[in-house]
Amino acid sequence: MLTFKKNISEILAHTIADQFGSAILTAGDICSMLEYPPDGTMGDLALPCFKLSKVLKTAPPKIAQSLYGAFAGHENLCSAEVQGGYLNIRISPAYLIQSVLAKIENDGEMYGSSREGEGKTVVLDYASPNIAKPFHIGHLGTTVIGHSLKLLHQFAGYKCVGINHLGDWGTQFGKLIVAYRKWGSREKIESGEIDALVELYVKFHAEAEKDDSLNQAARDEFKKLEDGDPDNTALWKWFIDLSNREYEITFRQLGITFDSYAGESFYIDKMPEQVEKLREKNLLTVDNGASLVDLSAYNMPPCLILKSDGSTLYPTRDIAAAVYRKRTYDFDKCIYVTSAGQSLYFAQLFKVIELMGYDWYDRLIHVPYGTVSIGGEKLATRTGNVVLLKDLFAQAIDKVRGRIEEKNPGLADKDAVAEAVGVGAVVFHYLYNSRIKDINFVMEDALSFEGNTGPYAQYTYARTCSVLEKAGAVPEAEEKITAPEEAEVLKVLSRFPEKVQTALAEYEPSVITRYIIDLCTAFNRFYHNCPILSAADVSVRATRLRITRASGTVIKTALGLICLRTPEKI
């Protein structure tokens, strides 16, 4: 069953076909023209006839008037009125119950899903923290945007492969090795874990500003690592183990698991084949001993493949990774979720893969997101200008736990609920705005539970559960819509499949986040203005309980699509 927007578009398309010829405009054309009026007094949907005017060479008001007459006989579905060049449409309450409510009850938590991805595979590269660096607020974007996109694609029927492409290779390991041997100890690192590694990393950069020879020493140590030096390899593996312990705590709090943890080092033995292919294609140019691909013909800087000492770089590893993923998963799309600051890099990478002759280059998709700053300053682990996620989550969880102790001290599983709501507050806050928007991170804003927040949405879901628990079984009775608030909730519920499609098409989780607030606002208005359990009329009570149940179902599904858990009691 379709959303009411699509059903109306089909009726309008048939109307136009009857009057003007079906070859002029399709149902899809009409659907794309339909708008939601800014004011509910103007109807539930509106068809601006101005674009039709160009095709039909008729004044918009005349077109609207001619279409108006075609709605006679469709009173069970909708009514229409003409206002200037607009045809305004109102959906009947009976149709909302028969179509929307029945659809949600039939589909349950799969309401809003589709089969568009059936038989297709999507690979998603996200999170991907750099080993020996802690998760901070800057990592939240790639992690929750990436996982939300994975959940959205799964919801649409795609087979999804989530990859945590760990940054476990590169010169930073040479820096850590040098720093550890100069200023570290095994006992100190084991007790401090990743925080101790960060201290070494920060100290290295501070000392390197005074003594540039440290940078060359780091390059030398990394080259030894690439060449298989056993001592450096043992240190490298230890750093990775320490880091993964920390990362798994954060991923558990976020409810995120991956299908592959193949990091950069996984592709060490797969890079030579791709470097040789670049040579065979005559794409490599040697400049001061370094090998690069000249991209000046495409208005891009050169793409460096090998350093002068023969060591590899990010592009070398990413080319090998893309080829491996295509061979292994035969993806229809491979999505990379990274900062917008890497947009040029991915444009270069995709162009090089195209020039290498891989005909699937156009299935590689970069999904950028805005930068995060603190007090207007760029985040940087090396200077310590970061807010660690574990600290942020801990503060949010403590704040929720305090509220629970104050308002609901007898609540079972208080710690689990506090974590779900506290972590959810931070995630919801991040995903509320468009992903490309730059964020100046303010701790107080992220921890606010007032207004359009995750806790507000989670509490609304818990409210639906409470009502249904008190009601017991929903009685069977004739449906009856008696208040505008009831119809409004159903209209918002009807838009969910459309919002899912938009979020997928635009790779934009904030579409779902904002929809959740719209639904929660409509439901809470209905809850406060329309007695549910105390409704005297059995049919009214039954209809309102069904609306409550449907609202809870969709809120739970939508929150799940943006990585939030849904406690039934808060």
Neighbours of 451 (CB within 10 A): 7
Mean pLDDT, residues 389-396 taken together = 90
Weakest-pLDDT range from 16-25, 302-311, 414-423: 16-25
* In the predicted structure, residue 522 carries a pLDDT above the cut 50: yes
* 124-133 confidence digits (pLDDT tens): 999 999 888 8
* In the predicted structure, residue 508 carries a pLDDT above the cut 60: yes
* In the predicted structure, residue 447 carries a pLDDT above the cut 70: yes
**63-89 exposure pattern, b = at least 16 Cβ within 10 A, e = fewer:** bbebbbebbeebeebbebebeebbbbb
Mean pLDDT, residues 245-267 taken together = 93
Mean pLDDT, residues 156-183 taken together = 95
Mean pLDDT, residues 374-400 taken together = 77
φ, ψ at 524 (rounded to 5°): -65, -35
* In the predicted structure, residue 25 carries a pLDDT above the cut 90: no
Residue 90, beta-bridge partner list: 79
Between CA 332 and CA 143 the distance in angstroms is 22
Specify whether the CB–CB gap between 539 and 94 falls below 8 A.
Answer: no
* In the predicted structure, residue 19 carries a pLDDT above the cut 70: no
Q: What sign for the dihedral angle of Cα 282, 287, 291, 296? A: negative
**215-249 exposure pattern, b = at least 16 Cβ within 10 A, e = fewer:** bebbbebbbbbbeeeeebeebbeebbebbbebbee
% residues pLDDT > 90 (the chain): 68
Per 3-state DSSP, the chain is made up of helix, strand and coil in percentages (nearest 5) of 60, 10, 30
Mean pLDDT, residues 363-379 taken together = 84
- Choice between 122 and 84, residue whose per-residue pLDDT is larger: 122
* In the predicted structure, residue 462 carries a pLDDT above the cut 90: yes
Mean pLDDT, residues 486-502 taken together = 94
pLDDT of residue 2: 44
Mean pLDDT, residues 165-182 taken together = 93
Q: Locate 304 and state its tokens.
A: 């460096």
Q: What's at 233, amino acid-wise?
A: T
Cα-Cα end-to-end distance for the chain: 35
pLDDT of residue 385: 60
Specify whether the CB–CB gap between 499 and 554 falls below 8 A.
Answer: no
For 22-60, give the DSSP string: TTT--HHHHHHH-B--SSGGG-SEEEE-HHHHHHHTS-H
Specify whether the CB–CB gap between 352 and 383 falls below 8 A.
Answer: no
Between CA 490 and CA 486 the distance in angstroms is 7
Between CA 235 and CA 359 the distance in angstroms is 40
* In the predicted structure, residue 467 carries a pLDDT above the cut 70: yes
What is the DSSP-derived secondary structure letter of residue 256? -
**164-182 exposure pattern, b = at least 16 Cβ within 10 A, e = fewer:** bbbbbbbbbbbbbbbbbee
* In the predicted structure, residue 563 carries a pLDDT above the cut 90: yes
Q: Work out the pLDDT band at 329, boundaries 50, 70, 90.
A: very high
Specify whether the CB–CB gap between 67 and 16 falls below 8 A.
Answer: yes
% residues pLDDT > 70 (the chain): 92
pLDDT of residue 3: 52
* 345-356 confidence digits (pLDDT tens): 999 999 999 999
* In the predicted structure, residue 75 carries a pLDDT above the cut 60: yes
Mean pLDDT, residues 74-94 taken together = 84
Mean pLDDT, residues 176-193 taken together = 93
* In the predicted structure, residue 176 carries a pLDDT above the cut 50: yes
Q: Nearest to residue 333, comparing CAs of 368, 359, 369, 360?
A: 360
* In the predicted structure, residue 83 carries a pLDDT above the cut 50: yes
pLDDT of residue 500: 96
Q: Nearest to residue 67, comparing CAs of 136, 26, 134, 17?
A: 17
pLDDT of residue 544: 96
Nearby residues of 338 by Cβ (< 8 Å), 6 or more positions away: 128, 142, 346, 366, 367, 368, 369
What is the DSSP-derived secondary structure letter of residue 359? T
Mean pLDDT, residues 281-307 taken together = 96
Q: What sign for the dihedral angle of Cα 511, 517, 518, 520? A: positive
Specify whether the CB–CB gap between 530 and 485 falls below 8 A.
Answer: yes
Give the H or E element holding residue 79.
Answer: strand 78-83
* In the predicted structure, residue 9 carries a pLDDT above the cut 90: no
Is the entire prediction scored with pTM above 0.95? Answer: no
Mean pLDDT, residues 348-365 taken together = 98
Q: What mean pLDDT, rounded, does the chain reach?
A: 90
pLDDT of residue 135: 86
pLDDT of residue 1: 36
pLDDT of residue 365: 98
pLDDT of residue 7: 52
